[in-house]
């Protein structure tokens, strides 16, 4: 299983949100580029980066930081947050981004959804499907997790058979360190053609091994690193 350390950028700084709440921000490093170097020195050369400002507003407020990260030697990144046009996808690829994460627009904008399918290499596209569970049914959320939809997670997946990569995040456990939603991930993994990137709730090295046991393809780890719940050395050894 590929393990990817996470950096969320908000107002130019490295932060984490609690359950996607922009009012509950914890800052961990004033310089995201320095944080990338910390991960690189620990043996990680693939980093997950989310522009939280862009996720909420659609604006490119942290784009210059992302450009600078792309210039670092032997670092590959996947980037999400506010990616709502084909032009922005192509610009990010031009800067050196390896994979893009699309969410809101790919869920609510049918034209954008079709354009991705028709014009972009789908191996390079990750569908960020963030969900909240109601009556044991996962529903998608959009616009930086600030708006709930009536779209069921598995209805969306079933109606989009061309999807290759899914970043599935349970908002209710994200940032809580209480453990990932194993049951949802097991259900997604029944579709063998999907590359699942598990995200949200990982709080211990045991959680990593639980994801490996269900054959999750990749996982994103954030707050557990910053809160020293998982040491980078242990994370590297589990990779």
Task: Note whether 165 and 127 are within 8 A (CB).
Answer: yes
For the question of residue 8 being annotated catalytic, the response is yes
State the chain's maximal CA–CA distance in angstroms: 47
- Reported as type and span, the H/E element at residue 193 is none
How does DSSP classify residue 30? S
HSE at residue 91, side-chain half, CA atoms within 13 A, is: 11
- Match 């045991």 to its residue by tokens: 206
For the question of residue 34 being annotated catalytic, the response is no
Indicate which residue of 8, 51, 170, 207 is catalytic: 8
Exposed/middle/buried for residue 83 (C-beta within 10 Å: 0-12, 13-18, 19+): buried
- Match 């996720």 to its residue by tokens: 55
Cα–Cα distance, 107 to 7 (Å, whole number): 23
Indicate which residue of 130, 170, 174, 207 is catalytic: 130
Q: How far from each other are the two terminal CA atoms of the chain, in whole angstroms?
A: 6
By annotation, the residues acting in catalysis are 8, 130
């Amino acid at each position: 299983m590929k393990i990817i350390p996470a950096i969320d950028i908000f107002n130019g700084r490295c932060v984490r949100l609690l359950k996607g709440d922009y009012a509950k921000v914890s800052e961990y490093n004033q310089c995201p580029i320095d944080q990338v170097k910390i991960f690189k020195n620990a043996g990680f050369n693939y980093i997950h980066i989310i522009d939280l400002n862009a996720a909420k507003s659609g604006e490119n407020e942290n784009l210059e930081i992302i450009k600078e990260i792309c210039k670092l030697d032997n670092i590959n990144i996947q980037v999400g947050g506010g990616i709502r046009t084909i032009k922005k996808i192509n610009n990010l690829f031009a800067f050196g981004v390896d994979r893009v994460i699309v969410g809101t627009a790919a869920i609510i904008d049918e034209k954008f959804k079709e354009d991705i399918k028709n014009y972009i290499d789908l191996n390079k596209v990750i569908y960020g499907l963030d969900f909240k569970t109601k009556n044991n049914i996962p529903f998608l959320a959009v616009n930086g997790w600030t708006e709930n939809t009536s779209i069921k997670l598995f209805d969306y997946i079933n109606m989009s058979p061309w999807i290759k990569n899914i970043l599935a995040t349970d908002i209710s456990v994200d940032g809580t360190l209480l453990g990932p939603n194993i049951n949802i991930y097991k259900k997604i993994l029944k579709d063998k053609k999907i590359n699942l990137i598990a995200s949200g709730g990982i709080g211990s090295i045991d959680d990593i091994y639980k994801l490996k046991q269900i054959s999750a393809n990749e996982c994103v780890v954030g707050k557990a690193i910053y809160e020293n719940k998982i040491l980078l050395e242990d994370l590297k050894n589990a990779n």
